[in-house]
Amino acid sequence: MEPGGLPARYHDVSTTPPVLAAELAQAWADIQRHHPELPDLAAPESLIGESSSACGAELSFERLLHEAVHGIAAARGVRDTSRAGRYHNRRFLAIAEEMGLDHVEEPHPSSGFSLVVLNSEAKRRYRPTIERLQRALKAHTAATASDTKRSFRGPAARHGSSGGGVRVKAVCDCGRNVRVVPSVLAQAPIVCGGCGKPFRIPEAVGAAS
């Protein structure tokens, strides 16, 4: 619990170290509350710094919701893209519209209906989530810029304490799991959107008991 009796997932990013992966996981959980068939996001930190011209190069809630459309498509067994995942077809668009994304133009010749944007209803529904993620992204950008300017990061620091940034499984009390770099989890808790408990690496749990 945080000071004042609030669960850890409600901590203020302005007063705690920004851990963008945790905020992405929480935003994904917010989407899952409206779309329960959406699978868990296995590795939220994998989206940080990842650029995809087909799905949107800039990391934002809109980009996250776009990725969630692909998650729903996968859960339903729907083939929503072609041309090595670049062309987003009308099946993608149909699910996107279900989730609050619109495509206001004709399909792009190479990426199809990829350039979807939040509609007004989705903006209202997810306003607190959007604002929170925007603060986290701003803090992350500032911290990254400061770190790049002021210090040299050797291989161990760049890749995390696990050696090469290898992801391992972390579990919560309700049995859900994510794959995460241990050094990322060590910075601050990643909280499950289902039970509100932090994800823990099983080996670490066993060692502590």
Average pLDDT over residues 41-46: 82
Query: Which residues fall within 8 angstroms of residue 25, CB to CB, at 6 or more apart?
Result: 41, 44, 178, 190, 191, 193
Q: Is the dihedral of CA 120, 124, 130, 134 positive or negative?
A: positive
Q: How far is residue 192's CA from residue 95's CA, in Å, rounded to a whole number?
A: 25
* Average per-residue pLDDT for the chain: 77
Q: Where are the beta strands (DSSP E) in 7-95?
A: 81-82, 87-88
User: 199-207 long-range CB contacts below 8 Å, 24 or more apart?
Assistant: 199/170, 199/171, 199/172, 200/170, 200/171, 200/172, 201/168, 201/169, 201/170, 202/169, 202/170, 202/171, 203/168
Specify the pLDDT at position 11. 38
Decide if pLDDT at 94 tops 80.
Answer: yes
Token digits of residue 117: 């944007």
Collapsing DSSP to helix, strand or coil, 64 comes out as helix
Decide if pLDDT at 203 tops 80.
Answer: no
Decide if pLDDT at 161 tops 50.
Answer: no
Decide if pLDDT at 113 tops 90.
Answer: yes
Decide if pLDDT at 69 tops 90.
Answer: yes
Instruction: Using pLDDT thresholds of 50, 70 and 90, give the confidence band for residue 72.
Output: very high
Maximal C-alpha separation, the chain:
58
Collapsing DSSP to helix, strand or coil, 203 comes out as helix
Specify the pLDDT at position 208. 39
